[in-house]
Every structure is written in structure tokens, then in C-alpha cells.
Structure 1
Amino acid sequence: MGGNALKAESVRLPAARYREVEHEAVAILQRNFPQRRIEAIIAYADKADFGDLDILIEAGDDYDAAQFSTALQATEIVLNGDVTSIGLAVAEGVFQLDLIRTESGSFDFASRYFGYNDFGNLIGRIAHKFGAKFGHLGLLYPLRAPDDKGHLIAELCITTDFSEALKLLGYDALLYENMRVNGQFRNLQDIFRYVVSSPYVNREIYLLDNRNHKARIRDAKRTTYNAFLLWLDEQKEITLPAYPWAEAGTAARDAQKENFLETTFMLFPDFRLAYVQALQKYARKKRLKQQFNGELAAEITGLSGKRLGELMAQVRHSFADEASFENFFLEADSDAVKARFLKEAAVLTSS
């Protein structure tokens, strides 16, 4: 994505020619792979020219990027995770086409997230302030350990419904869909005006100086992102929202995130259940590690090195199954744990 993944220089195509290439490429793929959803990423209506073509392809167990590349008679193939960039021979030269592997459950979300240049990235700044993640897989929640914020327990899905995600972030989802269907995102200004329509917008959250190093380096290279920053500075005719993100102290910011979380719990009960279960799983894992570890076993038995490793395996294998092993160490008190280690150490010594 971006038009610079190939060794061969990708030509830029004027809009009319791009539409021809887009239509032909999608038609070839749909004809050869009718069992998959295949869709080109939408662009704003007045975009003058294009440096590449992005096509979503529904994933599956038999997903094979080489098959799609062959169908399109690729002149070059570059694999990069879920994105396969190929060289497409056109009359003007070589044109970059990116095939984006997309899971079925998030296909509609990805189609909208990737559309309209940096639209999804700009919307995502608000989600980030709430502690969430707005991306091609949906609106996600990175759950961190209560006792160690640097440890990511799980990345939980809040919703893969794009409209619901927009509403949660303060946007008019119906307006977005109407503009999308009717081609009313005609230029970057239309996109920018929609982005700042949420009451949670504050120009400060977009400034590169207020981003972390990784995001700052990435977005500084994005033409549309920089155009948005310039557009923010030029606004005179509209009053931009100024949600008090920066002014809030740590306690207030935590309260903002907590309120957001409580709202998502009410609207998305499946997310709440997944959240609770993930915390319970983490607590179990932490308790198990406290009760069953090499340092504790060495302290109790005096064993070390290879013999200590053998003891740990002996203890684990002395239970009928993994569930029995975990339940014992989760429920046992310190005396019971000590007795178990000593018992299995004696068995190990006598064998």
C-alpha cells in the first residue's frame, strides 16, 4: 500500500484510466475466484490520479497469494504479511496492485477503514485516546494487566460493525454511510470535515509533536495526514471541537477511559464477557506461576540444575491431566504445595 513496494517503478494513472484498470483487475479475480469476496478500496470521487490499486480478498484456509498473482499475470511479487504487492503490466508501464488478505468477519470493516486515504487513521486517534484501537480488524480493546500496564493480556474485539464503532466515537454513522453510498466524499476537505464532526475531536491529538515516536515517524510520511494538519491550521469558517484531553490530569483521563469502557460494556455484552474472562485467565496464570515455579521448588527441596528440571516435570506428570495439575496449584495452600514438591522429590530420588 502506497505505491513504492516494487523494484520496478510504479507509474501513476489518471483517474479515468485507473477506473479501467480497477474494473478489469477486480473482474478477473472475481471470475477466477467466485467463492471469495473481492473488492477494491474506495477512493474519494475527485481524486485526480493514483499510485497503486488496493484490493481486499477474503481469507480462507486455502488462501494462496500466488494464485491471485498468477491470475493477474503479475510481473513482480512482493510478500509482506497480509499484503501482497504485485506488478501489473499496463500500457503505461508497471502499476502496483496490493492484494490485502482480509478475514471474513472483518471484511466490511476493513473495506471502510482503508477507504478514503487516511480516513481510518484519523478516526483512530479518538479511539486511541479512549484506550481502544480502531483498525482494519474492527474496534479493538488492548487489555493490559492490572498490575503491569506494560504487559498486554489480550486484544479484545469490541465490535466489527463499522457504524456501531463510529457511533461509539461520537460520529453520525448514518451520515457516513449516506455520503459513502452517494459519492459525497468528493475531496479531502469532505473527509476532513467529517473527521472533525465528533465532539471528542481536539486538534492537539493530531499534532505530530503529541504523538509517540513510532506514530510520529509513520504519519510524518503520509501526504494526507500532513494535508489534514495544514487544513486544521487554516480553518476559519468552522469551530472545531476541543474536547479536554490535554487539559485533563491523570485521574480525569483515567475517568474518561473508564466511562468509555462502561459504555462499551452496556452496548456490547459479548465484549464485557470476553473482558472478564481474559482477566480471570490472567489471574489464574499468575497464581499458578506463584505456586509452581523453579525458584520455589529449589527453596523447598534444595535441588538445582538438571535435577530441578526433572523434578518440575515429575510434579507436572504426577497428575492425571493438565486440568488436575492446574486446579491443585491454584487451590492449594503453601503447606500442601511444599508437601507435593517434597513427595515428588522423594519419588525422583528413589527412581
Structure 2
Amino acid sequence: LSYSDLGGLIGNICHKIGLKYGIQGLWMNVHTKEFDPTTTSTKLILSTNVKDIFDFLGYNYEQYIKGFDNENEFFQWIIDGKYFCSIYFDDNQLNHAHRQRTSKRPIYIKFREYLNIKDLLNNSINESAEDQNELIRIVREKALIYFNKQQDYDKGLNQRQEKRLFKDKYNGRFFSDIDGKNHMIRVHMENFQRRIAKTDEEFHQWVLNTDNDIIQSEIDKYKYELKQNQSS
């Protein structure tokens, strides 16, 4: 058995419970809006320690180190994990792209055959989206506590929210009406920034802490002075 075989099956389970697993370890994507994968996200590494990861997921680390005598023993080890659910391997629950990928993985096909022999796929129970989201929320909360990452999670979430707020309050559209030269927008933004603050961090905080009307007023002053200088 290769690491990719093990990682692929565990990774599939982790994906269903709101986590990610691979050669980089165990992580979660922190989205600006929870349960909305269309929003921007940052990667929060939970752990790179295999034993800690397996302990959290409920896998027998000693058995993993010892190795498996055959594929069936490995498959049973996967099933015995805390978060295993047979429906995660039901083709009817996969989108087309995922189904296409898994259909080309021999270990995935063999694992499904093993589940069929055990009659586990036929006993799988559909979960509503609400139930699945609740499970994801619980698992992610447990993971943050277990790996002591709550503070990092909050920091990452705040950074995403601050970035979105910054872009809402200050972006290129405020300068798009200057001379009709879009290629100069970035130059005007940088010139305006230097006018307000000495460093990027100072300017970032100024935008976040300043009322929208005041920001607009300062930009209007910049435009007025620019026009005056150009006409003189």
C-alpha cells in the first residue's frame, strides 16, 4: 500500500467532515463565510504530526506503524476510524467530476468492493445538508480545540474579513475617472497612499478605521489638486 492509497481514502473522509488531509498534514480552509466554499479562504494547518492526526481521526497509529498484512486489513482499519461513514463512498453522492476521478483509482474501486461485501453501502443513510453542515461545524470546532488552533482560526477569519472590508472601502474604481486612463489607476492609488501614510500597514489601518465619507473626501482632494497641478 502506498501513502497515496491511504491518503486518498482518509482524504475523502476528511473532505466530508470539513477538513483536508494530504502529504502536508491535516488542515482546514477558513472561508470568509462558513459553509460557503464560493467565498475566499485561507489554509489553516492543524497538524503535520501523523500520530496526532490519526489520534484525532480515531485511527490506530500503532497498527499503521506495524503495517497491514493485506488490503482487507487496511480497509477495516479505515472503517474503524471515528468519522468513517459508508455514504461518503457512495457513487450516488459524488458529483460528476469526483466520480470520474475515483473511477480511475484502483484502491478506491477495491475499497468499494470491500464495502459491498460487508453490505455497508446498502445500509448507508442519506443525511440532509443541514445535518452534514452541523457535523462539519462540530468536527471543525473539535479540531480547533484538539490542535489548539482556535486563536489562529479567529485571526485568519479576521484577516479575511478585514481584507474584504478594505477592498470595499478602497479600490481602483475611486480613481477610474481620472483622465480615462485605466493603466494609471494603480499609480494614483499608490500616490494617494503615500499622501496618507508612511507605510502599507499605516494606510491599511487608516482605511479600516476611517469613515467612508472621509475617505471619499480625501480622494476628492487628491483629484482636485492633481487637476490643479496639471492645468498650471
Contact 2:116 2:122 in 1 (8 A): no
Q: What CA distance in whole angstroms lies between the structure 2 residues aligned with 1:243 and 1:230? A: 14
Q: Kindly tell me: are residues 313 and 348 of structure 1, through their superposed partners in 2, closer, same or farther at Cα, counting changes over 3 Å? A: farther
Deviation, 1:297, is: 4.6
Partner of 1:263: 142
CA 242–209 in structure 1, closer or farther in 2 if over 3 Å, else same: closer
Whether 2:83 is the aligned partner of 1:200: answer yes
CA offsets 1:31-79 (integer angstroms, 9 cap, x no match): xxxxxxxxxxxx4xxxxxxxxxxxxxxxxxxxxxxxxxxxxxxxxxxxx
Q: CA deviation at 1:198?
A: 2.0
Q: Do structure 1's residue 120 and structure 2's residue 3 form an aligned pair?
A: no
Equivalent position amino acid for 1:143 in 2: V
Give the CA deviation at 1:150.
0.9
3-state SS of the aligned residue for 1:154? strand
Question: Partner residue of 1:101?
Answer: none
Which residue, out of 232, 237, 241, partners 2:115? Answer: 232
User: What displacement does 1:304 show?
Assistant: 5.3
User: What SS does the corresponding residue of 2:92 show, helix, strand or coil?
Assistant: helix
User: 1:333: how far off?
Assistant: 0.6
Find the partner of 1:222 among 105, 109, 113: 105
Q: Which has the higher strand share?
A: 1
The separation in 1 between residues aligned to 2:207 and 2:123, in whole angstroms, is 49
**Pair 241,227 (structure 1): closer, same or farther in 2 beyond 3 Å:** closer
Amino acid at match of 1:174: E
Q: What corresponds to 2:92 in structure 1?
A: 209
Match of 1:317 in 2: 194
Alignment of 1:295-306 (within 5 A): 295-297=173-175, 303=178, 305-306=180-181
1:133 Cα deviation after fit:
0.8
More helix by share: 2
Which residue identity lines up with residue 178 of structure 2 in the other structure?
L
Summarize the Cα distance change of 1:161–1:222 in structure 2 as closer, same or farther, 3 Å threshold: same
Report the alpha carbon displacement of residue 202 of structure 1 after superposing the two structures with TM. Answer: 2.5
1:138 pairs with 4, 12, 25, which one?
Answer: 25
Which of the pair has more CA radius of gyration? 1
Shift of 1:130: 0.9
Matched residue count: 225
Residue 151 of structure 1 and its aligned partner are, at CA, apart by 2.9
Partner of 1:276: 154
Unaligned runs of 5+ in 2: none
Q: Secondary structure at the match of 2:43?
A: strand
Seen in structure 2, the aligned counterparts of structure 1 residues 120 and 258 have a Cα distance that, compared at 3 Å, is same
Structure 1: which amino acid aligns with 2:41? I
TM-score by structure 1 length?
Answer: 0.58
Q: Report matched runs for 1:127-166 at 5 Å.
A: 127-146=14-33, 149-166=37-54
- The 8 Å contact of residues 18 and 136 in structure 2, kept in 1 or not, is answered as yes
Is the contact between residue 311 and residue 344 of structure 1 (CA under 8 Å) also seen in structure 2?
no
Cα distance between partner residues in 1 of 2:40 and 2:171: 22
Match of 2:57 among 147, 156, 169: 169
Aligned identity (percent) is 23
Q: Do 1:132 and 1:142's aligned partners in 2 also have CA atoms closer than 8 Å?
A: yes
AA at the equivalent of 2:53: A
- CA distance change for structure 1 residues 242 and 221 in 2, over 3 Å: closer, same or farther? closer
Q: Could you say what the CA RMSD is over the residues aligned between the two structures, in angstroms?
A: 2.6
Deviation at 1:156, TM superposition (A): 1.4
Secondary structure class of the residue paired with 1:305: coil
CA positional deviation for 1:274:
2.2
Deviation at 1:259, TM superposition (A): 0.9
Counterpart pick for 1:290 among 145, 168, 175: 168
